[in-house]
Amino acid sequence: MKHLLSTKGLGRAEAIGLLDIAEDMADVANREVKKLPTLRGKTVVNLFFEDSTRTRISFEAAAKRLSADVINFSAKGSSVSKGESLKDTAQTLAAMGADGVVIRHPASGAPEVLAASGWIDAGIINAGDGTHEHPTQALLDAFTIRRRLHGTASRGTGLDGVRVTIVGDVLHSRVARSNLWLLTTLGAEVTFVAPPTLLPMDMSGWPAAVGFDLDAAIAAKPDVIMMLRIQAERMNAAFFPNSREYSRRWGLDDVRFARLAPASIVMHPGPMNRGLEISSEAADSAASTVLEQVANGVSVRMAALYLLMSGDREDS
Amino acid sequence: MKHLLSTKGLGRAEAIGLLDIAEDMADVANREVKKLPTLRGKTVVNLFFEDSTRTRISFEAAAKRLSADVINFSAKGSSVSKGESLKDTAQTLAAMGADGVVIRHPASGAPEVLAASGWIDAGIINAGDGTHEHPTQALLDAFTIRRRLHGTASRGTGLDGVRVTIVGDVLHSRVARSNLWLLTTLGAEVTFVAPPTLLPMDMSGWPAAVGFDLDAAIAAKPDVIMMLRIQAERMNAAFFPNSREYSRRWGLDDVRFARLAPASIVMHPGPMNRGLEISSEAADSAASTVLEQVANGVSVRMAALYLLMSGDREDS
Amino acid sequence: MKHLLSTKGLGRAEAIGLLDIAEDMADVANREVKKLPTLRGKTVVNLFFEDSTRTRISFEAAAKRLSADVINFSAKGSSVSKGESLKDTAQTLAAMGADGVVIRHPASGAPEVLAASGWIDAGIINAGDGTHEHPTQALLDAFTIRRRLHGTASRGTGLDGVRVTIVGDVLHSRVARSNLWLLTTLGAEVTFVAPPTLLPMDMSGWPAAVGFDLDAAIAAKPDVIMMLRIQAERMNAAFFPNSREYSRRWGLDDVRFARLAPASIVMHPGPMNRGLEISSEAADSAASTVLEQVANGVSVRMAALYLLMSGDREDS
């Protein structure tokens, strides 16, 4: 693997291969010394054009566990904020010897521009670009589902026939998009449930069922229900009446949670708005995978950094 | 030791044990390679809900000298500032594999909530919570006094009979509180000197003498005089008339400094307001321990991280 | 070498010695594991009183490649911004065990004050002070010129007879000053070209020719043309009419670029304002050394950190 830019472009074998390596990485977390020497002498730059402490420290922990050096580059207050082009920033990082770049950017497509440009030879990982993709989030979600379903015997398997319902602000969510592509590639069936104002106008080509009624979706007994985070800043943007109304119609409250099938799992990418899109009872239940998702995030990011930065990196 | 939350709950033997380990750590600073492999593969998270560069870099230096990986998590601009609960933050750090959490928080008691919660199994160190406690500051102060009194032969000893006068804004000072509990546990006698408006209304249960007259306190020839930092933001809060008046009545100026006993020591937690609570002559004198306090701070924090994060960590 | 504060005080042999060590460091960048154990157990503090992400991460990469621990101390939001003196900050860093301090400061002369003070024993590197000096920038520029001229056979050589034209805001540029002293020490001939309003009133003692006409300067076929960055904040300061006028008269546009001698090189310290002081064609041409300057910056800073912090550090 040369870059990790999207899940849309990820083949099934490649995706399963990455998840299998993440299983190996998860084992490292149980060792007394949780460090591998794999990336010693390599430098990972966290190039964040948007604040995201959770994602940044997950990548930072993953890189350090592989013995890489980490340099945090926040675009705020830097020459980038003074109008330096992405090209000049990228070439500068390349010249400084960056072996991997984890990029978070408000513009959809920025990581692909970076990877296609030839400005930098380093492996590029998309850590969230606009409303486009957030591939490591989808990979950690798939990893989490696979582990819940198959346990440690999950190596080599996909998610064939698993029914996943994703609920909330699909319109603005790169998490929803990345999950759609990856989960369907792995054989799962995806249903989106959202208010009409929070769905894209044109969903042609999206291999997803769509519904507007969360109660009906729950009555269909999905294997997985994934609640998306509501961004507070959308609240005043006329996408829905108010937070109480949203919670009443599209939140996973205690009543809806009780109607889920006993074996189904509840996911959330975090950070959660408890009481808005998800109740505390649901979030803290045995069905919830919220914290497993965080832990698996480090393993999946270790796998991605390993594939992109170790000597075994492929040329295409 | 499982957590280090306060000095109020610290027993005498436990406190002396920590100071003795800090003596060992201080020896490391004199080696050619100032690094111990003790915490290799462990991760320390500096979780700072308030800015405090001095305290953060002291813990960062201590952790790195023990070969731990350090991740700085400033709550500003993070999901925490968007309203994520302390519970969700803590569980996230736990899931990422944090072995130790150094927490600075504006709310008194937040570190104890964290430690008691079960949200995270990591060792918790309180790096200052509201007006409550700042235990590593008190430990480094006690360490500094002990070294000045007994030199390198101080291992195993307390501070029995040492008379310590603490001057300034006791009302808002977690440093004053942490010192009161630790110093009396170690056998010292503590006197607070402050304007009446800068003392708590209810000091019942505080094992301290109280005075309002700094000249009288100095005439009593204390072994140690500790000047507290005046926060500029209190100045306009009607706690005292103005900075000139404060300095005239409760500052350690050159005249008062000259009246101290020759063997007495002058302490300040830093950063100092020179010319306000302390004169430059006092701050830079041979009696001053201000810089020893900083150096000892790294040793004491190494000892605390070692006790909480090495394999020998106790369960209670 | 004890400190690196300016190029004005740097002797020819000393400068060539540093450039030769930087050649060795550049070789490290080609190794599989780009790390030397040289500074293991040493701590470098990046003490930045002004934001400068590029310079900070260049020093950070250099220090980590030498296995030093790096602590970033941004003065924003710290006690420094609350009025702590440089003296107290420096003594605090010394007490914490800093072995090297990389300082960026808005006040000209601050690094020299620090080095002369005795407040801290660590090696001090000036990473830019006001309009005074930025010595590692000049050293990386000299290194870049030397490599272009002599290739890998450049060890031990100076820049005798090389003709360098520096164009732009000389008045405010520490890069121009540091280059002037170093390049002339190494035997080069320096010409400044600038609008009269962007030249110092008094240039007596400056070993530089001065011109106001960029076309005439280019007609003289310099070996090197170095374009200075225009600070956007100067634009409204009545130093020149507007950016279009500036670009027309003092920018390296495509027409001027085409008139340069085929073997001449184009330099810029970055970040560039493309289309203002330099055209994209010039910036991205084979004559441009912009990215080599960045890469060489890491090597030169490794050499400086090595000279100041390794066991071989001289006492004067």
pLDDT at C80 over 90: no
* Chain C residues touching residue A311 (CB < 8 angstroms): 32
Q: Are residues B79 and B118 in the same domain?
A: yes
**pLDDT-derived band at A203, boundaries 50, 70, 90:** very high
Structural domain of C19: 12-133+297-309
**Is C82 annotated in some ligand binding site?**
yes
C-beta separation of C189 from C144 below 8 A: no
Q: In what order do the strands lie in the sheet with A208-211?
A: A208-211, A189-193, A163-167, A224-227, A265-267
On whether residue B7 sits in a domain, the answer given is no
Nearest residue in C to B62, CA atom: C96
Q: Are residues A238 and A202 in the same domain?
A: yes
Q: In chain C, count H helices and then E strands.
A: 11, 9
Q: How far apart are CA A203 and CA A191, in angstroms?
A: 12
Q: Are residues B91 and B205 in the same domain?
A: no
User: Count of CB contacts below 8 A, B vs C?
Assistant: 70
Q: How far apart are CA C293 and CA C99, in angstroms?
A: 27
A33 to B41: CB separation less than 8 angstroms, yes or no: yes
On whether residue C184 sits in a domain, the answer given is yes
Q: Does A273 touch chain B (CB under 8 A)?
A: yes
Q: Which amino acid is at C15?
A: A
A41 to C34: CB separation less than 8 angstroms, yes or no: yes
**Is B155 annotated in some ligand binding site?**
no
| Total count of residues recorded for chain C | 316
* Chain B residues touching residue C95 (CB < 8 angstroms): 291-292, 294-295
For C21-64, write each residue's pLDDT tens digit: 999 999 998 888 889 999 999 999 999 999 899 999 999 999 99
For C286-314, write each residue's pLDDT tens digit: 999 999 999 999 999 999 999 999 976 65
Range scoring the smallest mean pLDDT among B85-89, B203-207, B276-280, C283-287:
B85-89
Q: Are residues C123 and C146 in the same domain?
A: no
On whether residue C187 sits in a domain, the answer given is yes
Q: How far apart are CA A141 and CA A268, in angstroms?
A: 9
Q: How far apart are CA B48 and CA B106, in angstroms?
A: 9
On whether residue C315 sits in a domain, the answer given is no
Q: Give the residue from B167, A173, A96, B198 showing the smallest Cα distance to C57.
A: A96
Task: Give chains near C: 3+ CB pairs under 8 A.
Answer: A, B
pLDDT at C316 over 80: no
| Total count of residues recorded for chain B | 316
Q: Give the residue from A15, A288, A20, A1 showing the smallest Cα distance to A135.
A: A15
Strands C123-129 and C163-167: unpaired
On whether residue B316 sits in a domain, the answer given is no
Residue with tokens 């310290």: C269
Residue of higher predicted confidence among B312 and B290: B290
Residues 6+ apart with CB under 8 A from A292: A144, A147, A148, B95
Q: Are residues C64 and C175 in the same domain?
A: no
Q: Does A82 touch chain C (CB under 8 A)?
A: yes
Q: How far apart are CA C175 and CA C166, in angstroms?
A: 10
Q: Does B118 touch chain A (CB under 8 A)?
A: no
On whether residue C172 sits in a domain, the answer given is yes
Element (H, E) at C46: strand C43-48
Q: How far apart are CA B143 and CA B138, in angstroms?
A: 8
**Is A53 annotated in some ligand binding site?**
no
pLDDT at C113 over 70: yes
Q: What's the whole-number mean pLDDT along residues B217-245? A: 84
In B, residues 205-234, which contact A (CB 8 Å cutoff)? Answer: none
On whether residue B245 sits in a domain, the answer given is yes
On whether residue C1 sits in a domain, the answer given is no
Q: How far apart are CA A66 and CA A81, in angstroms?
A: 31
Nearest Cα of chain A lies from the Cα of C207 at a distance, in angstroms, of 32
Q: Give the residue from B290, B300, B251, B244 showing the smallest Cα distance to C87.
A: B290
Nearest residue in C to B272, CA atom: C84
Q: What percent of chain A has pLDDT over 70?
A: 93
Nearest Cα of chain C lies from the Cα of A47 at a distance, in angstroms, of 11
Kindly report the CATH number assigned to the domain that includes residue C145.
3.40.50.1370
B96 to A271: CB separation less than 8 angstroms, yes or no: no
Q: How far apart are CA B67 and CA B218, in angstroms?
A: 44
In chain B, the number of structural domains is 2
Nearest to C295 among A40, A41, A96 (CB): A96
Q: Are residues B230 and B305 in the same domain?
A: no
* Chain A residues touching residue C229 (CB < 8 angstroms): none
Residue of higher predicted confidence among B243 and C2: C2
C-beta separation of A164 from A266 below 8 A: no
Q: Are residues B163 and B278 in the same domain?
A: yes
Q: Give the residue from C178, C46, C173, C175 showing the smallest Cα distance to C103.
A: C46
| Total count of residues recorded for chain A | 316
**pLDDT-derived band at A316, boundaries 50, 70, 90:** very low
For A106-148, write each residue's pLDDT tens digit: 999 999 999 999 999 999 999 999 999 999 999 999 999 999 9
C-beta separation of B293 from B226 below 8 A: no
pLDDT at A313 over 70: no
Q: Are residues C253 and C163 in the same domain?
A: yes
Nearest residue in B to A292, CA atom: B95
C57 to A43: CB separation less than 8 angstroms, yes or no: no
**DSSP secondary structure, B194-253, as one string:** --GGGS-S--TT--EEEES-HHHHHHT--SEEEEPPPPGGGTTTTSSS-HHHHHHHHSB-
Q: Are residues C71 and C178 in the same domain?
A: no
pLDDT at A272 over 60: yes
pLDDT value of position C256: 98
What tokens were used for B307? 């006790």
For A29-74, write each residue's pLDDT tens digit: 888 888 999 999 999 999 999 989 999 999 999 999 999 999 999 8
**Is A104 annotated in some ligand binding site?**
yes
3-state secondary structure of A315: coil
C-beta separation of C207 from C247 below 8 A: no
C-beta separation of C262 from C256 below 8 A: no
Q: CA torsion angle for A119, A121, A123, A124 (degrees, to 10)?
A: 0
Measured on CA atoms in the order C178, C184, C188, C191, is the torsion positive or negative?
positive
Q: Which amino acid is at B58?
A: S
Q: Are residues A233 and A159 in the same domain?
A: yes
Q: How far apart are CA A298 and CA A59, in angstroms?
A: 7
Q: Does B88 touch chain A (CB under 8 A)?
A: yes
| Strand-pair partners of A103 | A47, A126
What tokens were used for B68? 């731990």
Q: In what order do the strands lie in the sheet with C100-105?
A: C69-74, C43-48, C100-105, C123-129
Element (H, E) at A202: none
Residues 6+ apart with CB under 8 A from C188: C145, C159, C160, C161, C162, C163, C164
Q: How far apart are CA C61 and CA C293, in angstroms?
A: 15
Q: Which amino acid is at C17?
A: G
Nearest residue in A to C283, CA atom: A88
Residues 6+ apart with CB under 8 A from B283: B266, B268, B272, B274, B290
3-state secondary structure of A277: coil
A85 to C58: CB separation less than 8 angstroms, yes or no: no
Q: How far apart are CA A120 and CA A143, in angstroms?
A: 30
Q: Are residues A223 and A205 in the same domain?
A: yes
> Mean pLDDT for chain A?
93
Q: How far apart are CA B58 and CA B55, in angstroms?
A: 5
pLDDT value of position A148: 96
Q: Does A117 touch chain C (CB under 8 A)?
A: no
What tokens were used for C178? 């540091």
* φ and ψ of C44, to 5 deg: -105, 130
What tokens were used for A59? 């990548």
Q: How far apart are CA C86 and CA C102, in angstroms?
A: 14
Q: Are residues B158 and B252 in the same domain?
A: yes
**Is C104 annotated in some ligand binding site?**
yes
C53 to A92: CB separation less than 8 angstroms, yes or no: no
Residue with tokens 């996911």: A267
C-beta separation of B190 from B209 below 8 A: yes
Q: How far apart are CA A200 and CA A181, in angstroms?
A: 16
Output the CA–CA distances (angstroms, integers) from residue B12 to A284, B160, C135, in the order listed: 40, 11, 53
Task: Give chains near B: 3+ CB pairs under 8 A.
Answer: A, C
Cα angle C175, C181, C185; round to 5: 140
